[in-house]
Amino acid sequence: MIILGPNRYGKAETRVVRVTRHGDAHRLKDLNVSTSLSGAMDDVHLTGDNSAVLTTDAQKNTVYAFARRHGVGAIEDFALLLARHFVDSQPSVHRARVAVEEYGWERNAGSGHSFVRSGTEVRTCVAHHDGSGTWMVSGLRDLVVLNTTNSEFRGFAKDPYTTLAETGDRVLATAVNASWRHGAVPSGDPAPDGGRGAATDWDKSYESVRQALLAAFAGTYSRSLQQTLYAMGARVLADCPEICEVRLSLPNRHHFLVDLAPFGLDNPDEVYLAADRPYGLIEGAVLRDDAPGAGPAWD
């Protein structure tokens, strides 16, 4: 027997830039929004009946309309507003997933209207809503960090193909990709523009998690990137009680000492080759032992 399995559809990567103008002081929000809906959608697959389908074009237009009508503050609030709207407004939509990426901009030279992109780091969130429950995962991507010392790697397993030499002091660098699950999400409509109705200060929570990640990376004497990963996740949970689980993906951005002997020069740990590939990839989760179930949050 052949049956239809799990399915969903949506509009991927709707780019929206929202400018808020308060006199000469402007505020800029630069987002990439992906929406995905599922529910009573069997007929569209099995018979071609489209009557239950809210078009992906309408999903895109909703993103733009809500950016104008409600403004954009913390991306978590904007994602929640969209997810709840799609479920509440469409009888055939039982579950909504809204993923948002935010690209940071900083004011340029003290101007109220000139901006410069703030590095490679991207803030992220994924909101899920199914009418009875809501889940939120916040995160960041490509937060590049480097320690010039206080890192070693030795005592590892060896086989006939092992050529890596042990080291008691090395450069440790990575581009942090992290996501963290909130233990509870307030019910009711958020205030996407960050106004007084906002039930959770997502921006404050984000900054607290980010600072915890940075502090743990800088302050951990690392015997392996795995140890550093655990220290970073544990620091987030210790500093941020609203977070119940952290997932980290840490590519090891290798730095190799350059042999300068052919040029009659020594190299006392000063000149390195930064190799971009291949690279070690360390991944893991750190969570509270009493953390509530994740539901669809990580999907």
- Write the pLDDT tens digit of every residue in 34-81: 999 999 999 999 999 999 999 999 999 999 999 999 999 999 999 999
Q: Angle at the Cα of 92 (from 133 to 35), degrees rounded to 5?
A: 65
- 274: which residues sit within 8 A by CB, 6+ positions away? 173, 253, 254, 255
Q: Is the confidence at residue 191, as pLDDT, over 70? A: no
Task: From the candidates 22, 47, 56, 148, give the one annotated as an active-site residue.
Answer: 56
Average pLDDT over residues 119-135: 95
Beta-carbon count within 10 A of 155 CB: 9
Task: From the candidates 11, 29, 60, 182, give the one annotated as an active-site residue.
Answer: 11
Catalytic, 163? Answer: no
Indicate the SS3 state at residue 138.
strand
Q: Domain locations in the chain?
A: 1-132, 136-299
Least confident of 100-104, 131-135, 139-143, 171-175: 131-135
Indicate the SS3 state at residue 32.
strand
Same fold, 1-132 and 136-299: yes
Q: How many helices (H) and strands (E) does the chain have?
A: 5, 10
Fold of 1-132: Urate Oxidase (3.10.270)
Task: From the candidates 70, 85, 128, 254, give the one annotated as an active-site residue.
Answer: 254
Per-residue pLDDT tens digits for 131-141: 889 999 999 99
Catalytic, 204? Answer: no
Report pLDDT for 30. Answer: 98
pLDDT band of residue 292 (cuts 50, 70, 90) is: confident
pTM, two decimal places: 0.94
- CATH architecture classification, 136-299: Roll (3.10)
Catalytic, 158? Answer: no
Report pLDDT for 4. Answer: 97
Per-residue pLDDT tens digits for 216-241: 999 999 999 999 999 999 999 999 99
Separation CA 191–CA 272 (nearest Å) = 49
Report pLDDT for 197. Answer: 46
Mean pLDDT of the chain: 95
